[in-house]
Structure 1
Amino acid sequence: MKILKWVLRVLPFAYMAAIWIMSSLPADHFVKLPDSQIDHFIKESLHLIEFAILYVLLVLAMLTRRAAFTPALNIVCAVFAALYGISDEIHQSFYSYRSSSLFDLVKDFTGILVSFYFIRGALFKGKFAQLRKVLGRV
């Protein structure tokens, strides 16, 4: 169980490194679907979950600590994920084969806010009992 806690604590940093590396590469470096419109749609849709995943990983890392996970710490995790999203868009703007836009940030923030709604509800508002049960096991 101790190893799992350390894995959960390291995962956000590994994920941030992966985001940074992938943001430095052309959008079709790993996968390019035959239909360019579908390819573009799927890759643009990933913005909705990319930074939501980062926020969730940050929450899981914080839940492994002995200190209580507070509503304020939850907000800090969401803000940190959002700031990393901003830094990622700035980072992409330096590459001619990548795009950076305000609309991408809106998608990033939307994913974070949806995840925030469910985690906040589960941990602090008495909603989403199954999610609260899963998070309580961390």
Structure 2
Amino acid sequence: MKKAWYWVLTIAPIAYMWLIWMLSSVPGDPDAADTWEAAVKDSLHFIEFGILYWLFAFALIVHGKWSKQTSLLIVLVCIGYGAIDEIHQMYTPFRTATWFDLFKDAVGVTVSYLIMRWTYFKRADHFLHKLELLNRRNGE
């Protein structure tokens, strides 16, 4: 079971990036610009890219590659992917690409980074350090 978690956490960030890409490929609803549903979807940028950061963190932790430097690198990767996602949406019917959406992506990633700095690098959070054991038990 632990080996399964090891591999699930390894592929999770790439699978999630694919999911973001597929959801960004869905044409928007031209009539939903000022609806409650549009406002909720718009606010999900914070959460969506915060989750991406955590999935990368978990993958790197189980591989024993997590450090303050890789944490910052993942911030850049996630924000860069947010920029790619916004460019992709420029070419999707009834979707828009805005700097504000990229800003919301960056805020979600940054908040996740700050939480990780506090929990992993300062407090040595028990759960996150248990993920490292998956790497050691798989002999890698």
Alignment TM class, shorter chain as reference: 0.7 to 0.9
> Where does 1:48-67 land on structure 2 (aligned, <5 Å)?
48-67=46-65
- Provide the rounded CA distance (Å) in 2 between the counterparts of 1:98 and 1:65: 37
- Provide the rounded CA distance (Å) in 2 between the counterparts of 1:137 and 1:9: 15
3-state secondary structure, aligned to 2:35: helix
User: Does 1:86 find its partner at 2:79?
Assistant: no
Structure 2 alignment gaps of length 5 or more: 132-140
- Provide the rounded CA distance (Å) in 2 between the counterparts of 1:97 and 1:111: 24
Q: Write the letter of the residue equivalent to 1:63.
A: I
Partner of 1:95: 92
Q: TM-score, normalised by structure 2?
A: 0.85
- Provide the rounded CA distance (Å) in 1 between the counterparts of 2:73 and 2:64: 17
Partner of 1:16: 17
Higher relative contact order (CA 8 A, sep 6+): 2
- Provide the rounded CA distance (Å) in 1 between the counterparts of 2:50 and 2:64: 24
Q: TM-score, normalised by structure 1?
A: 0.86
Give CA-to-partner distance per residue, 1:52-99, whole Å, 9 cap, x none.
1111000000001134x2100111111111110000000101123111
Moved beyond 6 Å, runs of 4+ = none
3-state secondary structure, aligned to 1:6: helix
User: Does 1:133 find its partner at 2:134?
Assistant: no
RMSD: 1.8
Would you say how many aligned residue pairs link Structure 1 and Structure 2?
128
Deviation at 1:37, TM superposition (A): 2.2
- Provide the rounded CA distance (Å) in 1 between the counterparts of 2:71 and 2:28: 31
Deviation at 1:125, TM superposition (A): 2.2
Partner of 1:117: 114
Q: Quick one: percent identity of the two aligned structures?
A: 37
